[in-house]
Amino acid sequence: MTENIIDLEQNRTKKIREIYCIETAESKEINLSNKGHEQNDLTLNGKVIAKWLGNEWFDLKTIKPDSEKFSQEGTKQRDKAEKEVEEMVNSLCLSGYDYDNKIPLPALEIGTENIINGRIRIEASAKIYHDEKTVEGTRWIGCGIYEWCEGVTALQRKAYYNAANVMPPHTIQNKNTFVNEVMDLILSKDLKPTQRAISDYVKDVSVAPKVFSDRGGMLQRIINECWKKVDMQNNNDILQTRTHSRETWQKICSDQFNIKLTAAKRVIVCADYPDDPARCLTRDILPNMCNPHHNKPTEIILFTTSDNSGDATKAIKGFQGRLDKIIMRMFEAIMKVAPSEIPPDFYVIKGAVPQIIGKHDIKGNKLIPINKY
């Protein structure tokens, strides 16, 4: 048993504050070995793929909310997960964590503590603990411990991760959810990049048939989209991206790139949407230019929310052209004559954060030049 887990033979009961952030809430002793806390084996398409071994307490003190354990690349993009974590934190603080209800406990893999299911609940609970260290009873979360059955493949594990997202509380699935799942498996070489292999996985292994009826041809559209990506001559278009919320990218700029962002002077900007350049101009560049102490152009760092590397590259590389066009139109409207060039101290794009997995140094401390994105 690893150090983050409490051995139930020694410590079956813990005093847990089920409503985390309300000062008047009382902690309650909970014994996870009591009848009523039994968990089911994990199944995929009716077949048992992991056996339940028992329940144990996971120590939230030993894991940070930004741990790699919470990564769900290929299953759930990080910006979506971050939003769900915030919603779960709010839910736990208002309604608490009820160990007496019928919702399965988060599931951990025996020996590794890898999270099989329940990442959002564990991450939200870890966030509460690290924010509210003085609140008694928020340090532990009950989890079911599981062992994968012999012969379970990487394909089946990946399919189960998405299957778990179908069960409440869950992420709403769409076509891209399953396309990303398939492409992640192809890139990891767990799935052959053939039409037959893709079709068999989508229809027979993944939980896509539980989410979509093929009456409207959605399953076939998922298969076609996957094959289209595989068949593209530009192999970069099948790469996945790492996405985060703006707030998380701001923190990464400070922690990973040692870049301090300041209002209007050094900013991080989304490059995806048609009005993003105009918003950057009015929110950042013009206020900086109008500042009586202005002495440097606005420095811009770009990011994208796209989970497709081709779309991400198009957005990042196209941002400057769209911004320049808006600025030229502004001068034309003011002066009735377009200037020969934009003033050099108007703005400078410092680069983009590294997001394309397999192409960029995701954990490095350097921005990516736009022309090399």
Element (H, E) at 350: strand 347-352
- Asked whether residue 71 falls in the same domain as residue 182, the answer is no
Strands 28-31 and 42-44: unpaired
Nearest to 117 by CA among 50, 35, 186: 50
> Residue 341 domain-assigned?
yes
Token pair, residue 74, equals: 């290929």
> Residue 89 domain-assigned?
yes
> Residue 108 domain-assigned?
yes
> Residue 142 domain-assigned?
yes
Token pair, residue 185, equals: 């498996």
- Asked whether residue 129 falls in the same domain as residue 89, the answer is yes
Q: Which structural domain, as residue segments, surrounds residue 273?
A: 246-372
- Asked whether residue 192 falls in the same domain as residue 86, the answer is no
Domain end residue (candidates: 184, 201, 231): 231
Q: Does pLDDT of 200 surpass 70?
A: yes
CA distance 278 to 10: 61
Q: Does pLDDT of 20 surpass 70?
A: no
Neighbours of 335 (CB within 10 A): 9
Percentage of the chain lying above the pLDDT 90 cut: 21
Nearest to 165 by CA among 234, 201, 229, 119: 119
Domain end residue (candidates: 148, 183, 214): 148
- Asked whether residue 70 falls in the same domain as residue 182, the answer is no
- Asked whether residue 139 falls in the same domain as residue 177, the answer is no
> Residue 165 domain-assigned?
no
The answer to whether the bond into 277 is cis (omega within 30° of 0) is no
Strands 140-148 and 107-109: parallel
> Residue 160 domain-assigned?
no
Q: How many domains does one find in the chain?
A: 3
Model confidence band, residue 225 (pLDDT cutoffs 50, 70, 90): confident
Q: Does pLDDT of 261 surpass 50?
A: yes
- Asked whether residue 316 falls in the same domain as residue 286, the answer is yes
- Asked whether residue 186 falls in the same domain as residue 109, the answer is no
Instruction: State pLDDT tens for residues 82-133.
Output: 777 888 888 777 777 777 666 788 888 888 878 888 888 888 888 888 876 5
User: Which has the minimum average pLDDT: 57-61, 272-276, 366-370?
Assistant: 57-61
Measured between its terminal Cα atoms, the distance across the chain in Å is 44
Domain end residue (candidates: 107, 132, 148): 148
Neighbours of 45 (CB within 10 A): 15
> Residue 154 domain-assigned?
no
Cβ atoms 302, 353 nearer than 8 A: yes
Instruction: State pLDDT tens for residues 42-90.
Output: 888 888 999 998 888 888 888 776 666 666 555 556 666 777 788 888 8
Q: Does pLDDT of 11 surpass 60?
A: no
Nearest to 174 by CA among 140, 125, 208, 131: 208
Token pair, residue 251, equals: 């923190």
- Asked whether residue 128 falls in the same domain as residue 220, the answer is no
Phi, psi torsion values for 74, nearest 5 degrees: 90, -15
- Asked whether residue 141 falls in the same domain as residue 177, the answer is no
Cβ atoms 14, 29 nearer than 8 A: yes
Residue 196, classified by CB atoms within 10 Å of its CB into exposed (0-12), middle (13-18) or buried (19+), is exposed
Strands 115-117 and 140-148: unpaired
Cβ atoms 143, 108 nearer than 8 A: yes
CA distance 373 to 172: 31
The helices-and-strands tally (H runs, E runs) of the chain is 11, 11
> Residue 158 domain-assigned?
no
Alpha helices in the chain (DSSP H): 78-95, 119-131, 154-164, 175-187, 195-200, 208-211, 218-231, 246-255, 276-280, 286-290, 309-335
- Asked whether residue 221 falls in the same domain as residue 253, the answer is no
- Asked whether residue 218 falls in the same domain as residue 259, the answer is no
- Asked whether residue 16 falls in the same domain as residue 52, the answer is yes
Does 43 or 214 have the greater pLDDT score?
43
Q: What is the pLDDT of residue 270?
A: 94
CA distance 35 to 53: 14
